[in-house]
Amino acid sequence: MSQYSAEEIGFIDETLKDERTTFRWNGCSAKGMCVQKKGVFVWGHRLSAVGLLMLDGMAACSVIEGSFTAMKFAHFLEHDMLLLCSPYPGLLSILIMDNAHIHHHEEIEELAHNAG
């Protein structure tokens, strides 16, 4: 990555928040004892957020109710984020994403290819 300048790179990631976000999934107990945890199962309200982080801070973001699908993510790319990008080797021409399933949809690849 050292061959790229920091102005060329943007990082994209999603996160979500619901009533179970603060619930601890792991615990500690005395040796030989089983961990006992109590938690309330809540369907509840879920918010998801996606953002584009650049050297200067957040360049684009979106918050939706529910979870991001490939189509909702593609909409964010097309209408919010790719408008800020330029073809390689310009400013914000390299986008780095994690290996989430929604990033592998054919429409996402097509949008990225068409943007250069």
**Domain residue extents for the chain:** 6-17+41-115
pTM: 0.72
Long-range Cβ pairs for the range 72-77 (8 Å, 24+)? 73/14, 73/102, 73/103, 73/105, 73/108, 74/105, 74/107, 74/108, 74/111, 76/50, 77/108, 77/111, 77/112
Q: Is 59 helix (H, G, I), strand (E, B) or coil?
A: strand
Distance CA 87, CA 113 (A): 10
Beta bridge partners of 34: none
Q: What is the pLDDT of residues 47-83, one digit of tens each?
A: 899 999 998 899 899 999 988 999 999 999 999 888 8
CB-based contact 10:95 (threshold 8 Å):
yes
What is the pLDDT, as a whole number, of residue 114?
86
Residue 76: which of 11, 15, 12, 10 has the closest Cα? 12
pLDDT tier at 19, thresholds 50, 70, 90:
low
- Find tokens 């500690």 and name the residue: 28
Q: What are phi and psi of 66, to 5 degrees?
A: 95, -160
CATH assignment of 6-17+41-115, among 3.50.50.60, 2.60.40.1760, 3.40.50.300, 3.30.420.10: 3.30.420.10
